[in-house]
Amino acid sequence: MATFGILRRSLSTTTTRNAIKNVTVIGGGLMGSGIAQVAAQTGHNVTLVEVNADILKKAESSIANSLGRVAKKLYKDDAKAVKDSDLIVEAIVEKLEIKHKLFKSLDEAAPTKTIFASNTSSLSIGEIASVTNRKDRFGGLHFFNPVPVMKLLEVVRIPETSEETYQALMAWGKAVGKTCITCKDTPGFVVNRLLVPYIAEAIRMMERGDASARDIDIAMKLGAGYPMGPIELADYVGHDTTLSISEGWHKKFPENPLFNICESQRKLVQQGKLGVKSGEGYYKYNK
Ligand SMILES: CCCCCCC[C@H](O)CC(=O)SCCNC(=O)CCNC(=O)[C@H](O)C(C)(C)COP(=O)([O-])OP(=O)([O-])OC[C@H]1O[C@@H](n2cnc3c(N)ncnc32)[C@H](O)[C@@H]1OP(=O)([O-])[O-]
Ligand SMILES: NC(=O)c1ccc[n+]([C@@H]2O[C@H](COP(=O)([O-])OP(=O)(O)OC[C@H]3O[C@@H](n4cnc5c(N)ncnc54)[C@H](O)[C@@H]3O)[C@@H](O)[C@H]2O)c1
């Protein structure tokens, strides 16, 4: 069985009542470490499960920087990591087959009461949940990057999600300090369904030479009040992520022109220019 590093942190500062106390976050990367942090900050007992020891260390220090003291433990199986869990939030790599493998094993290991949630950006919650026997206790919890700062949480219901599960997810979202909105399990939910075509159109505008990247960004910041322009945001999120979302949707809905691929973005990814995280995207960054 795989060896998982587990990071535990708990504080008792919350004043919001919600039934979920013990939370397991699976995946300690960009999103998982942020989700673990906001859950710990609001008084939940948090277990963070990560397969990569270096990333676990990084998550530990980023949470420690925000919270002070962190205790780290190692376990040999994921059954122990989830045995007391009221809620499991999955934030691992955006690949359906990998999420399926994880949820199949979690379904066997976790108690009946445990609610499962995925933080997927672009996959169908129903398709992810299909390998489990607890679709009534399954939903989407879509956080935004950077998690500690962004106030929104999209709570996604599939037709099988029970009212009790939905209410528990909404109450937990509120308890971790987020404003929750509800949406159906449609591609991109609310925010990404609007953001992805918006960013793609900004890139196409630049590709056509209608305006420069800098001017498009200035225009949307000063003319529409966005904190970042669309090209800056694409660099910030990462071109590998945005391209794989567009490619997945384009394959699934080839007739929808909103999901067409941007050639300059494909080229950037081929060149390893992924945006802020690699030091260069449409702009250059000091690493
Ligand atoms: C692309 C479309 C495709 C979708 C792809 C999928 C994506 C996904 O599914 C959905 C998303 O997330 S979509 C993406 C959704 N995301 C967006 O759309 C983001 C849009 N951008 C923004 O909202 C702002 O530019 C930022 C908040 C990023 C930075 O704010 P700023 O004013 O420009 O710069 P500042 O003055 O430096 O920071 C201000 C405060 O924030 C604090 N802080 C910053 N980073 C932090 C971190 N990592 N941790 C903790 N804290 C962090 C900082 O300490 C400071 O706190 P203080 O207490 O005041 O000192
Ligand atoms: N990056 C974003 O802006 C963003 C925003 C919202 C949602 N999401 C979604 O959140 C999820 C994670 O994205 P991310 O950006 O944090 O990715 P990331 O690559 O930073 O983190 C994923 C982590 O999961 C770990 N992992 C992989 N398989 C695992 C397993 N079986 N058990 C435990 N850990 C495992 C990896 O080692 C990695 O550290 C994806 O589904 C993504 O679509 C991302």
Contact call for residues 261 and 243 (beta carbons, < 8 A) = yes
Question: What ligand has the least distance to the C-alpha of 265?
Answer: 1
CB neighbourhood size of 255 (10 A): 6
Domain that holds residue 171: 4-184
Per the domain annotation, does 286 fall within a domain?
no
Q: Report the CATH number that the domain containing residue 170 is assigned in CATH.
A: 3.40.50.720
* Averaged pLDDT, 238-242: 91
Reply yes or no: is the peptide bond before residue 159 cis, omega within 30 of 0: no
CB 205 within 8 A of CB 211: yes
50, 92, 100, 244, best to mutate for ligand 2 pocket (most atoms within 8 Å of CB): 92
154 is catalytic: yes
Compare 59 and 190 and report the one with higher pLDDT. 190
Given a cut of 50, whether residue 36 has pLDDT beyond it is: yes
Pick from 156, 184, 212: which residue ends a domain?
Answer: 184
- The pLDDT, as a whole number, for residue 67 is 60
b/e burial code for range 201-235 (CB count within 10 A of at least 16 → b): ebbebbeeeeeebeebbebbeeeeeeeebbbbbbb
**CB-defined site of ligand 1, < 6 Å:** 121, 144-146, 148-150, 192, 195-196, 199, 227-228, 233-234, 237, 241-242, 245
| pLDDT tens column, 69-106 | 333 444 446 677 898 999 999 999 999 999 999 999 99
Residues 205 and 155 in one domain: no
Q: Is residue 119 part of a domain?
A: yes
d(CA 9, CA 267): 42
33, 85, 121, 122: the active-site residue: 121
| CATH code of the domain containing 253 | 1.10.1040.10
Catalytic pick among 18, 119, 192, 246:
192
| pLDDT higher than threshold 90 for residue 286 | no
In angstroms, rounded to a whole number, what is the distance separating the alpha carbons of residues 230 and 41? 31
Q: Pick from 163, 184, 205: which residue ends a domain?
A: 184
Which pLDDT tens digit goes with each residue over 187-238? 999 999 999 999 999 999 999 999 999 999 999 999 999 999 999 999 999 9
Cβ–Cβ under 8 Å, residues 49 and 36: no
Mean pLDDT of 166-190: 97
Q: Is the pLDDT of residue 2 over 50?
A: no
20 plus 135 within the same structural domain: yes
Q: Tell me, in angstroms, the distance from the centre of ligand 2 to residue 95's CA.
A: 10
Pocket mutation for ligand 1, best pick of 149, 193, 241 (most atoms within 8 Å of C-beta): 149
Q: Which is catalytic among the residues 44, 142, 239, 246?
A: 142
How many independent structural domains does the chain possess? 2
**Side-chain half-sphere CA neighbours of 224 within 13 A:** 11
Do 134 and 128 form a contact (C-beta atoms < 8 A)? no
